[in-house]
Amino acid sequence: MNSPGFFRFFRSRRYGVSSFLLGGALCLGLMHSPVQGQGDPEMLLRELALKANDGDDAAARSLADRLLSAMPAQVDPAFAAEVKAAGPAESARLLAMIILRSEVPEFRKDGMALLEKAVAASSVAATENLALILLEGRHGQSRDTARAIELLRRARQMPGAKESHRLLGDLARRGEGMPKDAALAIEYYLRGAEVGSVGCRIALHRLYRDPEGGAHDPVAAEQQGRAAVDGGSAEAAYELGIYYESYVEGAPNWSRAAEWLKKALEKGHGPAAEHLADYAFEGRLGRVDPNEGTRLLREAAGLGDGGACLRIAAFYEKGEILPQDPVASTAWIRIAASFGYGPAENAYGLRLTNGFGVASDPAEAARWFAKAAARGVADGQVNLGLLLENGIGVAADPVEARRLFLAAAEAGHGVAQERLARLYSEGADVAARDPLEAAFWSARAERSGVKGAGDLAIKLRTALSPSQAADLDRRLESPTTRP
């Protein structure tokens, strides 16, 4: 397990940048040992900042010094070579993503400014990075689907674009920010597949195999899945396992599914090991074998699968399959959190809050909730919001608490909706009270099934004027509001 204040390195597939924060450290590189000589983190960071700031030495030194004063850093040879090869736009993007993934709030403005600069310089990777951030509301940014789509449409016209095709296809398939249209989704995916996007082939496989997806074609599904496997994708092998398990005619073909899951596992795919563990626990290939299931979960955990870690943690917590052990349970949650797995970051924050299997530490809990919140985990946003609202472990900040509750509420989190209703109706910040907003969010909380929200919704609606009540009804009937 990693210690706070130190870090490991890995390449983020989501953002395409060699950086990762663990325990408050700035990370530059991949999973190797630190560099000697040329790997001086201070010099490398300043070189990156100098390129990103168009040779402005004063601006580069100022930014690098501020970053290094806030957190330690180490670097490895692969990343040093990457910095050497990067031009100004790519340097700005790399530095932006390093800063943003550090999840230090005071540096977000710097990170976003650098990312916007790289986008303005027509960096396709930066354009896709920014679009993804806006789609998911990460790194303290509000969700902005309209701008994200504009960025993705721009990116897909650039050489080297791959993620933009898949993301646009996903939006068309879901009807998010554009009309729901399976044919348009297929068109985006096919264009991405033509330029080598394995992710688009996997998306096509999923769409074609779904009987209710509007484009059901089992033969095409298998063809696209196999093509993605031929492209080296472990995820595609996993998806073919799911295909034979759930999407072929007649009964599931467990043995054929297991063959593909094992191929995915051979390629280092953690979720495949976790899925095979279920086969062992449930006896799908013969006898029930909890020992083999547990072994496979540990193998999945060794491959960085946070979900497998949480399942082992649950075994230790409940005393099922493994001996009951609160400390071991919390340790496994901490391991999952160290992988950057959002649900585990939130779960570890809860353990630190409650003192279960670890000493109670609200301040450290707030730090882990912040990590989960930055990844868009609604529970993490709510838990951090509660600490900020009440000044527990952190300085009270009702404005930031309200922002976090709003982000979670917009994602459909009932507790966040109820908390917003109470803040807008009876919060300590009198200037922020808003009876219409309070009534709106109490009605949303009632729809989400929050206990007591119905009485609150009636009370707050009764306090509205006729015109406000009419506005409330219009908002609640909006297609974007209906669950």
The answer to whether residue 95 is domain-embedded is yes
Residue showing tokens 């063959």:
259
Strand (E) or helix (H) holding 12 = strand 11-12
pLDDT at 73: 64
Cα–Cα distance measured from residue 185 to residue 480, given in angstroms and rounded to the nearest whole number: 21
Q: Are strands 26-28 and 17-18 parallel, antiparallel or unpaired?
A: unpaired
The torsion of the CA quartet 104, 382, 478, 450, rounded to 10 degrees, works out to: 180
Residue showing tokens 């689907």:
145
pLDDT in tens, 351-370: 999 999 999 999 999 999 99
SS3 16: coil
Judging by beta carbons within 10 Å of its beta carbon (0-12, 13-18, 19+), is residue 77 exposed, middle or buried? middle
The first and second tokens of residue 368, run together, are 């882990």
SS3 11: strand
Cβ atoms within 10 Å of 53's Cβ, excluding its own:
22
For residue 49, the enclosing domain spans: 1-121
The answer to whether residue 80 is domain-embedded is yes
DSSP 431: G
- Looking at the DSSP assignment, which residues form a beta bridge with residue 18? 11
pLDDT digits (tens), the chain, 483 positions: 333 222 222 334 344 433 323 233 445 443 333 333 345 777 788 888 888 888 888 888 888 888 877 766 665 667 777 778 889 999 999 989 888 887 778 889 999 999 999 999 999 999 999 999 999 888 888 889 999 999 999 999 999 898 999 999 999 999 999 999 999 999 999 999 999 999 999 999 999 999 888 899 999 999 999 999 999 999 999 999 999 998 877 788 999 999 999 999 999 999 999 999 999 999 999 999 999 999 999 999 999 999 999 999 999 999 999 999 999 999 999 999 999 999 999 999 999 999 999 999 999 999 999 999 988 899 999 999 999 999 999 999 999 999 999 999 999 999 999 999 999 999 888 888 999 999 999 999 999 999 999 999 999 999 999 999 999 999 998 866 655
The answer to whether residue 20 is domain-embedded is yes
Asked whether the beta carbons of 345 and 15 are under 8 A apart, the reply is no
Cα–Cα distance measured from residue 422 to residue 40, given in angstroms and rounded to the nearest whole number: 51
Cα–Cα distance measured from residue 86 to residue 79, given in angstroms and rounded to the nearest whole number: 10
The answer to whether residue 439 is domain-embedded is no
Number of domains the chain is built from: 1
**What residue type is 178 in one-letter code?**
M
The answer to whether residue 26 is domain-embedded is yes
pLDDT at 45: 81
**What residue type is 201 in one-letter code?**
R
The answer to whether residue 22 is domain-embedded is yes
Cβ atoms within 10 Å of 59's Cβ, excluding its own:
14
pLDDT at 100: 87
pLDDT in tens, 183-204: 999 999 999 999 999 999 999 9
The answer to whether residue 440 is domain-embedded is no
pLDDT at 320: 94
Ramachandran class of 396: left when φ > 0, alpha when ψ lies in -120 to 50, beta otherwise: beta
SS3 18: strand
The torsion of the CA quartet 56, 100, 9, 305, rounded to 10 degrees, works out to: -160
pLDDT at 55: 86
DSSP string, 66-112: HHHHHS-EEE-HHHHHHHHH--HHHHHHHHHHHHHHTT-GGGHHHHH
pLDDT at 383: 97
Count of H-run helices and E-run strands, the chain: 25, 4
- Looking at the DSSP assignment, which residues form a beta bridge with residue 74? 27
Cα–Cα distance measured from residue 462 to residue 442, given in angstroms and rounded to the nearest whole number: 12
Per-residue 3-state assignment (H helix, E strand, C coil) for 248-280: CCCCCCHHHHHHHHHHHHHCCCHHHHHHHHHHH
9-42: b or e for each residue (b if 16 or more CB lie within 10 Å)? Answer: bbbeeebbbbbbbbebbbbbbbeeeebeeebbbe
The answer to whether residue 413 is domain-embedded is no
**Residue 199: closest CA among 224, 166, 221:** 166
Cα–Cα distance measured from residue 99 to residue 45, given in angstroms and rounded to the nearest whole number: 11
Cβ atoms within 10 Å of 173's Cβ, excluding its own:
23
Cα–Cα distance measured from residue 208 to residue 222, given in angstroms and rounded to the nearest whole number: 9
Cβ atoms within 10 Å of 302's Cβ, excluding its own:
14
Longest dimension (CA), the chain: 72
